[in-house]
Amino acid sequence: MNITINNRVIQLEKPTSILGAICQAGARLQSPDCGSARQWTRHPLCPAITLAEVDGMLLSGALLGRRPAGDGMTIMTSSPTIDKALAERAKMLQDCHECFFVREMQKVLAADAESAGFINLEEWEKFDFPLRTVEPSLIHDPNRCVRCRSCVEVCRDVQTVEALRFDEKQGVLIDDRRCVRCGQCIHVCPSGAISKYRKLIEFLGCHSCPFDKPLGAMREKDETKKAWAILHDRDCHPVAQFAPAVRASLAQEFCMEPGELVTGKLYAALRRLGFKQVWDTNFAADLTIMEEGSELLQRIATAGKLPMLTSCSPGWVRFAETFFPDLLPHLSTAKSPQQMLGAVAKTFAAPRLKIDPSRMKVVSFMPCTAKKAEAARPEMNSAFRFHQAHGGGSAAESYPDVDLVLTTRELVRLLKMAGLDLRCMPEEAADPLLGAYTGAAPIFGRTGGVMEAALRTAAVLLAGAPFARLEFHALETMDGVKTAAVQVGTVTLKIAVVHGLGNVRKVCESIRSGGDFASYHFIEFMACPGGCIGGGGQPIPTNLYAKGARMAGLNKDDREMHALRMSHENPEVKTLYEIFLEKPLSYISHSLLHTHYTDRSPASAGPIP
């Protein structure tokens, strides 16, 4: 068999692949300069940036190894056509962190959209709109948008926020003042869906690449490069925390069963990324129960503002600030677990580790795009203010309690950038001080979990003894609004659990008008359907099956993996109070673990432009 490689005739003794023939000829495929992105693409035959020209057609390296060489073939590993293609693809990878190959597959969706009558493909390919950013959480790329209006519908019909509207010429427009950053628009954006490409991605061996997912028209603001820079900055002391829901959501991204718990493997992987301490937001979930539960009991005892509304869902908090500012006094002043951990990391833990708190960089991995906005709130700098008042730390300029928030999807990308596969990680434990947690903490990640965790501790604080059964199965369903009356000592607590902002709106209107829910004691609100397991930063797809698997994983963490299942039993939380915070709702607890809210309603700032 004779073939021509780079203008030289080669005789092959036996059948081989095109790549095998190239190797036998002593030729090699070019590797373009992709800047820092090249160190993250470890596939030796990356289909995007390893090319050969075979009989005038460009073929990727992955296909070259699978296609047999044929008699009379003409193969070039260097040509003007290859050079031009590689330059374009390298620029896309370096500047946009996007794989040319995945981008081309995304065009199949555009063809489907044309068939459905949403776009004209020829006009779509000429779109040249600027990106639309909702700081600091979301990006809308009108040039990828296929004008299906799914994001507009979920924002209007499911979340009742109506921050998105469709314009025939410009596509989807975003009202920044109304947007609560929940990210539910991302989950319904077809341009970010991967199901159509999954089999092909696996066939080409690209599943371990950080650029194996399409960039959706609606997506989170990607800050993996910022995290990478922090991890490689010798002046920084990076520490990590990750939310309850994350441990039950990552498995599906590493070819494991959906909902499988990867807690110990994730501790190990984060250490190998370069984090100096790996802590757990679950610790702060237990801490949240101590503060929020004590606040509830105080309100009941002193005829305070009821019903008390939970405050750990930042999408819900912003929804209340925007649409129901008159209900802000009802919100618990307790910060979310993410923000509590950031505050105690830089006040309680930093001095014990002999680290200047201004050098400590707290990086959070969350299921939620709204968490990015929460961490950026100007009042979330309690640690800085604490050190200013008590003479600790050397920083003159303010620094946040949480420095950077990445979604679960960004965490997957970051792990793949470092070449880490969760399946290969050993089981390790969290670092001490802020790493221990009870079974009450992981269920924070699903609807009803915050309420259930609070009731467990409230029973002990009010009645002096725990419930005979710690589970409240009626609170675990996916019903949008769940209610119960629970006898705790001499008090009958009327409680409700609500998830999805459309349901939240109905309950808030009832409270506002003095309806049925105005007589309740305590209501759990979650912005996202299903709670954090359905957060806007979760892996795609996040459907009912995925949510169910994640909920089962979190329940397993609670019921099968912990001897201690009530937040007040957490030994590290006890130590934190004994030697630093003193007690729940103390002066120092209020200064570090509690916050205030802002009226963001249109009436407070004039008409929306």
Which one, of 140, 497, 185, 178, lies nearest residue 318 by Cα? Answer: 178
Q: Which of these is catalytic: 88, 135, 379, 578?
A: 379
8-11 β-sheet, strand order: 8-11, 2-5, 74-76, 51-54, 57-60
Q: Phi and psi for 211 in degrees, rounded to 5?
A: -110, 30
Q: What is the DSSP string of 279-300?
A: --HHHHHHHHHHHHHHHHHHHH
374 is catalytic: yes
* Location of structure tokens 């630093």: 580
Q: How far is CA 13 from the centre of its chain?
A: 54
Q: Which of these is catalytic: 220, 292, 410, 569?
A: 292
Cα–Cα distance between 392 and 85 in angstroms, integer? 56
Which one, of 295, 595, 299, lies nearest residue 454 by Cα? Answer: 295
Q: Are 67 and 18 spatial neighbours (Cβ–Cβ below 8 Å)?
A: yes
SS3 422: helix
Amino acid at 545: Y
Q: Which of these is catalytic: 260, 291, 295, 321?
A: 295
CA distances from 479 to 38, 48, 483 (A): 47, 45, 10
* H-run or E-run covering 401: none
SS3 51: strand
Cα–Cα distance between 562 and 460 in angstroms, integer? 18
532 is catalytic: yes
* H-run or E-run covering 372: helix 370-375
Q: Which of these is catalytic: 374, 452, 476, 524?
A: 374
371 is catalytic: yes
SS3 255: coil
* H-run or E-run covering 609: none
Which structure tokens are listed for 233?
């900055």
Q: Which of these is catalytic: 265, 482, 532, 547?
A: 532
Burial (CB < 10 A; 0-12, 13-18, 19+), residue 336, is buried
Q: Are 529 and 158 spatial neighbours (Cβ–Cβ below 8 Å)?
A: yes
The alpha helices in 483-529, defined as continuous H runs, are 501-512
Q: Which of these is catalytic: 34, 155, 312, 368?
A: 312
Cα–Cα distance between 546 and 104 in angstroms, integer? 28
292 is catalytic: yes
Q: Are 132 and 143 spatial neighbours (Cβ–Cβ below 8 Å)?
A: no
Q: Which of these is catalytic: 265, 361, 371, 494?
A: 371
23 is catalytic: no
Cα distance between the two ends of the chain = 71
Q: Are 261 and 248 spatial neighbours (Cβ–Cβ below 8 Å)?
A: yes
Q: Mind spelling out the 3-state secondary structure of 168-211?
A: CCCEEEECCCCCCCCCHHHHCCHHHCCCCCHHHHHHCCCCCCCC
Strand partners for 165: 173
Which one, of 274, 249, 239, lies nearest residue 419 by Cα? Answer: 274
SS3 363: strand
CA distances from 577 to 124, 291, 447, 580 (A): 59, 11, 28, 5
476 is catalytic: no
Amino acid at 225: K
452 is catalytic: no
* Location of structure tokens 């010429």: 169
Cα–Cα distance between 238 and 551 in angstroms, integer? 30
332 is catalytic: yes
User: Which positions are catalytic?
Assistant: 292, 295, 312, 332, 371, 374, 379, 532
